[in-house]
Chains A and B, each alone.
Chain A
């Protein structure tokens, strides 16, 4: 009778598919993650401890937004979408111009954002927020 001698084998786990598994994980996480970037209109509020500055009348322009969403620029009513051009023109004339935005307590927030957006589009850097009258 033939006697077979068994060689003790070392069992090995193949690592060839490791890359596939890792890639699968990577792709799964890449697909399932949603990257949402926070976007918005940035603004710096005035420091309440800072002293109040006196500003010359000619360097300030008043922008009033009422409850109905109508905009008054220097006592003249203009459509929201025209603010950009008018303010850009004013800033070109006077780079020191400060735009003072004043809203009423009942002004809709989306009108306010639309106005701020127009000012940002006109590259107005000096925006002042006037407190609404109580």
Chain B
């Protein structure tokens, strides 16, 4: 009987599908990443300990208030009485309705303007807000 001896070598792992795997990874990261839309204003955020992460970015609206009480939405400085109209349009956007408004307010701002902004947001039916903060250690 003729028994062929099994060649015992280390089986090579085929690397031919490696580019496919890597490209898949690249495409996954490209699709899942969201670019920063707005530059915003130079502000110093206050720090807090018990903070929550804002999930998702696509349905979050951003507002900035800097230390000179200037209000900015979408890289445009707006007046206080314009806020409710702008935010209402964003809130009622059929494609991506706003879920949360993240308020990026400088720590040196006084509460008066913060309250005024909140009143305008109430008018625009944007009731879920989040005060952006840094993490305090």
- In B84-137, which residues have CB < 8 Å from any A CB? 100, 102-103, 105-112, 114-115, 118-119, 121-123, 126-136
A45 B127 Cβ-Cβ under 8 A: yes
Query: If the complex has contacts A30-B29, A33-B33, are A41 and B111 also in contact, measured as CB distance less than 8 A?
Result: no
Inter-chain contact B49/A38, CB cutoff 8 Å: no
Task: Collect the chain A residues with CB atoms within 8 Å of residue B57's CB.
Answer: 38
Q: In angstroms, how far is the closest chain A Cβ from the Cβ of B90?
A: 16
When C-beta atoms are compared, the residue in chain A nearest to B109 turns out to be A109
Given contacts A106-B112, A110-B108, A121-B49, contact A40 B19 (CB under 8 A): no
28 A-B contacts (beta carbon < 8 Å): A19-B18, A22-B22, A23-B22, A29-B26, A30-B29, A39-B53, A39-B132, A40-B130, A40-B133, A42-B128, A42-B129, A44-B127, A44-B129, A45-B118, A45-B122, A45-B126, A45-B127, A46-B127, A65-B111, A103-B115, A105-B111, A106-B111, A108-B111, A109-B107, A109-B109, A112-B114, A113-B47, A117-B49
* B residues at A contact (CB < 8 Å): 15, 18-19, 22-23, 25-26, 29-30, 33, 36, 46-54, 57, 60, 100, 102-103, 105-112, 114-115, 118-119, 121-123, 126-136
Q: Per DSSP, are chain B's interface residues mostly helix, strand or loop, or mixed?
A: mixed
| CB–CB A105/B110 < 8 A | yes
Beyond contacts A19-B18, A132-B112: 8 other A-B pairs, Cβ-Cβ < 8 A, are A36-B36, A40-B102, A43-B130, A45-B118, A45-B126, A48-B122, A103-B115, A106-B110
Could you say which residues of chain A place their CB within 8 Å of the CB of B50?
41, 117, 120-121
In the complex, the answer to whether B107 meets A38 with C-beta atoms within 8 Å is no
